[in-house]
Amino acid sequence: MVDNQGNQQKQLLKTRNKQPEYNKDVINEDSFYKLLAYNGMLQKKRTENKEATMDDPTMAAGFESFDSMYQQTLLEDAKKPQREIDPEVFRPKMQMISDQSMDKKEITYMNQAARREEYLEEHTRYKENKLEQQERIELFYLLE
């Protein structure tokens, strides 16, 4: 009689293993692997720098931090099916080439001499525009 009561008390103290039931709900195992990797990275980072971890107010006060939110999100994602991969997203898109802007030129390979020549042409145009602008300003002040 005493032995039965002792066994009953031991059975009441033990908790039932709920892992198999939880595993049946898991659809996406990749999120579990992500969670394990993220927890390992957090553990390594926190053990290497204990002072910063202890001084962190979100850890000390128990506020909801990004780490805990991300871990919870990964656990929730484990029970959702994976998103389908749309191959249309990865196909190359047609690029629109507009001739509206004169600044945009077709990009071609140029050797050093050609680049130097182009730079000198652009620089002379820049100097001419700057000179015209200065003359306009001087004329404006004269007319006023």
**How many angstroms separate the most distant Cα atoms in the chain?**
118
| Tens digits of residue pLDDT in 55-86 | 887 777 777 788 889 999 999 998 899 888 89
Give the whole-angstrom CA distance, residue 129 versus residue 139.
Answer: 15
The structural domain count of the chain equals 2
Give me the domain span that covers residue 116: 109-144
Do 52 and 105 contact (CB within 8 A), yes or no?
no
| Tens digits of residue pLDDT in 8-31 | 666 667 788 888 888 888 888 888
Which helix (H) or strand (E) segment is 1 a member of? none
Task: Tell whether 99 is covered by a domain.
Answer: no
Buried b (16+ CB within 10 A) or exposed e, 31-69: beebbeeeeeeeeeeeeeeeeeeeeeeeeeeeeeeebee
Task: Tell whether 94 is covered by a domain.
Answer: no
- 117 plus 76 within the same structural domain: no
Task: Tell whether 28 is covered by a domain.
Answer: yes
- 76 plus 114 within the same structural domain: no
| Tens digits of residue pLDDT in 87-139 | 998 888 887 666 555 566 667 788 999 999 999 999 999 999 998 988 888 88
Task: Tell whether 103 is covered by a domain.
Answer: no
Q: What crossing angle do the helices spanning 66-77 and 30-48 adopt, rounded to 10°? A: 160
Task: Tell whether 9 is covered by a domain.
Answer: no
Do 41 and 70 contact (CB within 8 A), yes or no?
no
